[in-house]
Amino acid sequence: MKDQRFLPFQVPLIAAIALIVLLPLAPVASAWITSFNYIGLFALVALGLVLLIGSANMLSFGQAAFVGLGAYTTALATTLAGLSPWIGLVLGWLVTGIAAYLVGLVTRRLSGHYLAIATMAVGMAIYFAFANLEILGKNDGLNALPHLSIFGFSFEKSERMYYVIWGAVALAALGVRNLLSSRVGRAMRSLALGDTMPEAHGIDTARLKVLTFVLAALLASTSGWLYAHLQRAVSPIPFGLTHGTEYVFMTVLGGAMSVWGAILGAGLFVLLDDVLRNLLPRLIGGDAHYELVALGVMLIIILQRARDGLWPFLARQITEYRLAEAPAQAPALPVRPKPAHGEQVLDVRGLQKRFGGLVAVNDVSFDIKAGEIVALIGPNGAGKSTTFDLITSVQSLSAGDVSFRGASITNLPSRTVFSRGIGRTFQHANLLPNMSVLENVALGAHLRGDPHMIGNVLASASRLNRQEEDKLLHEAARQLERVGLKDNLYMAAGNLALGQQRLAEIARALSGDPILLLLDEPAAGLRYFEKTALSSLLRQLRSEGMSILLVEHDMEFLMELADRVIVMDFGSLIASGTPEQVQSDPAVRRAYLGD
Amino acid sequence: MNPTVALLLAQDGIATGAIYALLAMALVLVFAVTKIPFIPIGEFVVYTALTLVVIQANQVPRTVWLLIAAGCIAFITDIVAFVRERDRAASGGIAPLWLSAAQNLLLPAVIAAIVTMLSQQPRIMPVDMLMAVLIVVPLAPIIYRLAYQPLVSANPLVLFMVSIAVHFVMVGLGLNLFGPDGDRAEPYADWQLELSGQIVRGQVVMVLVAAVVLMVILYLFFARTVPGKALRAVAVNRIGAQLVGIGTATSGKLAITLACLIAALCGLLISPGVTLNYLSGELIGLKGFVAAVLGGFVSYPLAVAGAFVVGLLESYTSFWASALKEVIVFSMIIPILLLRTFASRSDMGEH
């Protein structure tokens, strides 16, 4: 989501909205109304694809089939069963939701390709069902659908449907925008980096993917319902793979990263399609479908040259991301009770990781007590980061046992490990570059919000979750201030210096209210005074009872900070003790300096 | 259903399954090497089959002009890239341009000349088939150059979108090249065998024999030849392969060309048996995909198994519920994906 206040493009934007509102009042040809009705219908579907393509890095070519499910369900319900169109809408949501849930369910743990392929295949199956089922009228479809009406007010005329359609678009755009700038939306956007980082912050990525996919399908279904009652007839053609691809095309054309991009894309598409269908055959001659070729070529060029679509060109001046803002004051989030000083927090026994014949971590055992800073050092390739991954279940361990506060956490999902109170940073900073620093950090507080996903989606879309959002964002801002980034809250995380990105990751981990903090090279890329500040922050955390395990190459930084040092070499633990003991250990000297 | 019908349907199912198996293997090959889900594979089947039909009618197929035009565009793209290149010496100076000219201008011209010359001469069927393959397969490296090469390091989902765009470009062009009507080629095997009372059509025998021979050849190619081993190396570790001098673009072109060669042969094999039109490639290619999913795009044997399941299912449903044939075959993706999920718990998090 890109947004900012007082942007230069706000004037044309307001003009565009005014145009949309006033169009039916002006004496324009009815063809205009028809075109704008289609733009609205397409925009609804494209908004769903903003959730999928632009946020969660998911891809669907089956949206047209979901539009079809919405349209055919209401057609059946109203013509065959004589039900009200409004019941048709709900039934359409139900049918589409179930279909999308099923597809999401079988692809949720697989890589992104499988969802894309599944939507193509399932889209085909649905399309052929429309075209071949007797009850659905085969290729002729169903007709004589009733028009919409509410309390006796009829929407029979297409100028009136126009307002229903654009009302739906406005609601959906607002809802999507609100959702994406809230807790669940941030989690959806974090899926763009893959599953590892979100899972390590307590996010159930599999569930979230299903949810995102279902939401996008429901928007498509709504569009289908509107389409069916606008046309008063349905037939299979608009619900095939070609149209499924057109929805992807318009979303990518306009810019999948923002709701405005989706609406812009739908508008441009209708315009383009019109031009291509009328103009190209006249220019080239013949009656063939050149528009298919032209659309394909354009899609390829956009993907090669301007992958984020056209909207970012219009809104280029963005330097700040203020979609979510931290309030000056907010009630504090509940904090988990800290263990007593000196109590054993982490106990690692016989940790082992094999990659085929290679033993990356071999029989490593150590423990960490509450309020203790332990440094894990060793030459490159010693297995330090792998040890981190094993403790946090980012990788599964081959043998051994990890317990945290007396309970085994061996091979639990990494989101569960996080929820027990182990926060971490990554060796390679893992922030969403197009999201504000504040929102990136708020991701760490994901589990401190309302765990009910569906209720949360509704609350987020309608902004009823303002209080919770305030608490989470305030907490994120507080942690950012602690790590010294209070002036960078609304900067795109990608614009932070590398050292600052590491600090932001620490703030993100702290937002989760951890008991044990695993830091992978936190001081790398920091300047001298930044290192001093980090050092005093870590001391302060220790004095608050937090335990810290850190991997670091800056010995000066480490030796005056750490209570205890553990040394690894070639996957094995070769020494441990106080900094002084380790520094004089012959095995350690050998590992670092050679014989 | 009596046993005779059941066996006939099985025959059909195995023959179509063999075609899907070849396509699924081609898809696995392309995906392993390039991470491209090569959706337009079905169009190569159809282009070859319909080009063969035109050749058999003693005409010059319009695919020849497509090849020449696409070659010119690819060459111009190479020139533009050359002009923009800052460090020309490091990328081989002007030599790659000569190579591009040979590949994109000379080769299509030569093929066009041969096809035009031979189109009025009396020919035997294998010559026709060879000509069809020669016209269609060189399109593959050109498509790679134009659509995919600029995107080698892109997000996998971008490659997916490009693939479907290429698919629609080829479908749209197919309509212009071959017209809206379907057609089938002359039969190459109108004999039949009798195996213990059961009649086996020559067409089915030929498809199976060709499929097995092709699989053996592919196996030998990957196991014994240097380019085959290079492709395997890229599939295992792209960066590593690059470090030992196997270029991404070269291996990508090779993989796609090979896949399209397989698809073209599939086109020849099915052209007498099924009526194909410009749209048919979509369904054929997608079924290859459904089969490849079972193997998780890594396992050739599982992809082949999946293909036979799809083929047999299609054959039997066309008897029991012909109207819902495609619905049932494509719905198969759900149980297949479910199996895939169970088979690849370790797949998680790999994007």
Asked if A356 and A42 count as a contact pair (C-beta separation under 8 A), the reply is no
Q: Which residue of A has its CA nearest to B325?
A: A128
Question: Residue A3 — pLDDT band, cuts 50, 70, 90?
Answer: very low
What residues of A are in contact with residue B168 (Cβ under 8 Å)? 242, 245, 292-293, 295-296
Q: Which residue of B has its CA nearest to A300?
A: B162
**What pLDDT was estimated at residue A346?**
94
Classify residue A197: in a domain, yes or no. yes
A356 and A273 within one domain: no
The answer to whether B165 contacts A299, with C-beta atoms less than 8 Å apart, is yes
Phi/psi at A369 (5° precision): -105, 160
Minimal C-alpha gap between B77 and chain A (Å):
13
Classify residue A336: in a domain, yes or no. no
Nearest Cβ partner of A296 from B169, B293, B340?
B169
Query: Among residues A548, A561, A540, which one has the least CA distance to residue A515?
Result: A548
- Which residue(s) pair with A567 in the sheet? A377, A575
Other C-beta atoms within 10 Å of B349: how many? 17
Minimal C-alpha gap between B318 and chain A (Å):
13
Q: Which residue has the tokens 């213990």?
A: B196
**What pLDDT was estimated at residue B346?**
45
A561 and A489 within one domain: yes
Q: Which residues contact A501 (CB under 8 A, 6 or more apart)?
A: A429, A431, A493
CA dist A51 and A177 (Å) reads: 10
Using the predicted structure, report yes or no on whether residue A512 has a pLDDT greater than 90. yes
Strand order in the sheet with A422-424: A422-424, A516-520, A547-551, A373-377, A564-569, A572-577
The kind and range of the H/E element at B335 are helix B333-343
CA dist A367 and A355 (Å) reads: 25
- The three-state secondary structure class of A320 is strand
Six-digit token pair at B76?
Answer: 């111009």
Average pLDDT on A305-310 reads 84
Q: Residue A408 is part of which domain span?
A: 344-593
Other C-beta atoms within 10 Å of A201: how many? 24
**What pLDDT was estimated at residue A451?**
77
Six-digit token pair at B32?
Answer: 């392993």
Minimal C-alpha gap between B15 and chain A (Å):
22
Q: Which residues contact A115 (CB under 8 A, 6 or more apart)?
A: A58, A59, A60, A103, A104, A107, A209, A213
Preferred mutation among A98, A120, A127, A308 to probe B, highest tally of B CBs within 10 A = A120
Classify residue A302: in a domain, yes or no. no
Phi/psi at A273 (5° precision): -60, -45
Q: Among A251, A267, A290, where does a domain finish?
A: A290
Asked if A465 and A182 count as a contact pair (C-beta separation under 8 A), the reply is yes
Preferred mutation among B333, B342, B344 to probe A, highest tally of A CBs within 10 A = B333
**Cα Rg for chain B, rounded, in angstroms?**
21
CATH of the domain at A513: 3.40.50.300
CA dist A28 and A32 (Å) reads: 7
**What pLDDT was estimated at residue B169?**
95
Across A166-170, A274-278, A363-367, B42-46, least confident range: A274-278
- pLDDT tens digits, B132-163: 999 999 999 999 999 999 998 788 889 999 99
A508 and A442 within one domain: yes
The answer to whether B161 contacts A110, with C-beta atoms less than 8 Å apart, is no
The answer to whether B158 contacts A303, with C-beta atoms less than 8 Å apart, is yes
- pLDDT tens digits, A323-381: 788 888 888 888 888 888 889 999 999 999 998 788 889 999 999 999 999 999 988 88
Minimal C-alpha gap between A299 and chain B (Å):
6
The answer to whether A106 contacts B283, with C-beta atoms less than 8 Å apart, is no
What residues of A are in contact with residue B156 (Cβ under 8 Å)? 111-113
A268 and A353 within one domain: no
The amino acid occupying position A248 is: V
Helices (H) and strands (E) in chain B, counts: 16, 2
The answer to whether A106 contacts B341, with C-beta atoms less than 8 Å apart, is yes
The amino acid occupying position A547 is: S
Nearest Cβ partner of B293 from A114, A194, A249?
A114
**What pLDDT was estimated at residue B194?**
78
**What pLDDT was estimated at residue B66?**
95
* Burial readout B322-346 (b: 16 or more C-beta within 10 A, e: otherwise): eebbbbbbbbbbbebbeebbeebee
Angle subtended by helix axes A158-180 and A30-49, to nearest 10: 20
**What pLDDT was estimated at residue B348?**
37
Minimal C-alpha gap between A488 and chain B (Å):
29
CATH of the domain at A15: 1.10.3470
Q: Which residue of B has its CA nearest to A197?
A: B349
Using the predicted structure, report yes or no on whether residue A463 has a pLDDT greater than 90. no
Preferred mutation among B169, B279, B324, B336 to probe A, highest tally of A CBs within 10 A = B169
The answer to whether A132 contacts B323, with C-beta atoms less than 8 Å apart, is yes
A362 and A284 within one domain: no
Asked if B331 and A108 count as a contact pair (C-beta separation under 8 A), the reply is no
Other C-beta atoms within 10 Å of A158: how many? 17
- How far, in Å, are A10, A328, A403 from residue A262 at the CA level? 17, 33, 48
What residues of A are in contact with residue B345 (Cβ under 8 Å)? 109
Classify residue A98: in a domain, yes or no. yes
Strand-pair category, B198-201 with B192-195:
antiparallel
- The three-state secondary structure class of B13 is helix
Six-digit token pair at A154?
Answer: 């009829």
Give, as one character, the DSSP assignment of residue B298: T
Classify residue A325: in a domain, yes or no. no
DSSP string, A237-293: GGGSHHHHHHHHHHHHHH-TTSHHHHHHHHHHHHHHHHHHHHHHHHHH-SSS-HHHH
What residues of B are in contact with residue A109 (Cβ under 8 Å)? 341, 344-345, 347-348
Average pLDDT on A208-231 reads 96
The answer to whether B330 contacts A122, with C-beta atoms less than 8 Å apart, is yes
Classify residue A385: in a domain, yes or no. yes
The answer to whether B161 contacts A194, with C-beta atoms less than 8 Å apart, is no
What are the contacts of A6-12 at 24+ separation with CB within 8 A? A7/A315, A7/A317, A7/A318, A8/A317, A9/A314, A9/A315, A12/A314
Six-digit token pair at B286?
Answer: 């997608």
CA dist A409 and A407 (Å) reads: 6
- How far, in Å, are A65, A109, A394, B37 from residue B346 at the CA level? 31, 9, 12, 21
- How far, in Å, are A37, A321, A497, A540 from residue A492 at the CA level? 36, 7, 11, 28
CA dist B44 and B265 (Å) reads: 9
Other C-beta atoms within 10 Å of B34: how many? 26
DSSP string, A355-380: ETTEEEEEEEEEEEETT-EEEEE-ST
Domain count, chain A: 2
Question: Residue A9 — pLDDT band, cuts 50, 70, 90?
Answer: low
Preferred mutation among A248, A292, A398 to probe B, highest tally of B CBs within 10 A = A292
Q: Which residues contact A432 (CB under 8 A, 6 or more apart)?
A: A189, A190, A192, A193, A439, A440, A493, A494
What residues of A are in contact with residue B282 (Cβ under 8 Å)? 241
A357 and A281 within one domain: no
- Mean pLDDT, rounded, of chain B: 88
Six-digit token pair at B256?
Answer: 């796609």
Share of chain B above pLDDT 70, in %: 97
**What pLDDT was estimated at residue B308?**
92
A272 and A135 within one domain: yes
Nearest Cβ partner of B157 from A57, A195, A242?
A57
**What pLDDT was estimated at residue B244?**
79
The answer to whether A125 contacts B151, with C-beta atoms less than 8 Å apart, is no
Minimal C-alpha gap between A161 and chain B (Å):
33
Give, as one character, the DSSP assignment of residue B147: I
- pLDDT tens digits, B293-348: 887 787 888 888 989 999 999 999 988 888 888 999 999 899 988 888 887 654 33
Dihedral of alpha carbons B333, B336, B341, B346, sign: negative
The amino acid occupying position B321 is: A
Six-digit token pair at A351?
Answer: 């940790």
Q: Which residue of B has its CA nearest to A52?
A: B157
Query: Among residues B253, B270, B27, B265, which one has the least CA distance to residue B132?
Result: B265
What residues of B are in contact with residue A199 (Cβ under 8 Å)? 349
A285 and A348 within one domain: no
What residues of A are in contact with residue B154 (Cβ under 8 Å)? 303, 307
Alpha helices in A443-560 (DSSP H): 453-461, 466-482, 498-511, 528-543, 555-559
Q: Which residue of A has its CA nearest to B287?
A: A121
Question: Residue A317 — pLDDT band, cuts 50, 70, 90?
Answer: low
Preferred mutation among A197, A210, A212, A289 to probe B, highest tally of B CBs within 10 A = A289
So what's the ipTM on this one? 0.90
Nearest Cβ partner of B161 from A114, A121, A303?
A303
Q: Which residue of B has its CA nearest to A288?
A: B176
What residues of A are in contact with residue B281 (Cβ under 8 Å)? none
CA dist A561 and A99 (Å) reads: 56
**What pLDDT was estimated at residue A376?**
93
The answer to whether A121 contacts B173, with C-beta atoms less than 8 Å apart, is no
Using the predicted structure, report yes or no on whether residue A48 has a pLDDT greater than 80. yes
- The three-state secondary structure class of A329 is coil
Classify residue A30: in a domain, yes or no. yes
Phi/psi at A377 (5° precision): -125, 170
- Mean pLDDT, rounded, of chain A: 89
The answer to whether A303 contacts B341, with C-beta atoms less than 8 Å apart, is no
The whole-model pTM stands at 0.91
Nearest Cβ partner of B168 from A53, A103, A292?
A292
What count of CB pairs under 8 Å joins A to B?
Answer: 151
Classify residue A313: in a domain, yes or no. no
**What pLDDT was estimated at residue A228?**
95
The answer to whether B165 contacts A303, with C-beta atoms less than 8 Å apart, is yes
Using the predicted structure, report yes or no on whether residue A7 has a pLDDT greater than 80. no
**Per-residue pLDDT of chain B in tens (351 residues, 90 and over written 9):** 788 888 888 988 999 999 999 999 999 999 988 889 999 999 999 999 999 999 999 999 999 999 999 999 999 999 998 888 777 666 677 888 899 999 999 999 999 999 999 988 888 999 999 999 999 999 999 999 999 999 987 888 899 999 999 999 999 999 989 988 888 888 887 778 777 777 888 888 888 999 999 989 988 998 888 888 888 888 888 788 888 778 888 889 999 999 999 999 999 999 988 899 999 999 999 999 999 888 778 788 888 898 999 999 999 998 888 888 899 999 989 998 888 888 765 433 333
Ordered by start, the domain boundaries in chain B are 3-344
**What pLDDT was estimated at residue B253?**
92
Phi-psi region of A10 (alpha: psi -120 to 50; beta: other; left: phi over 0): alpha
A359 and A268 within one domain: no
Share of chain A above pLDDT 70, in %: 96
Kindly provide the residue ranges of all beta strands, DSSP E only, lying in chain B, ordered along the sequence. 192-195, 198-201
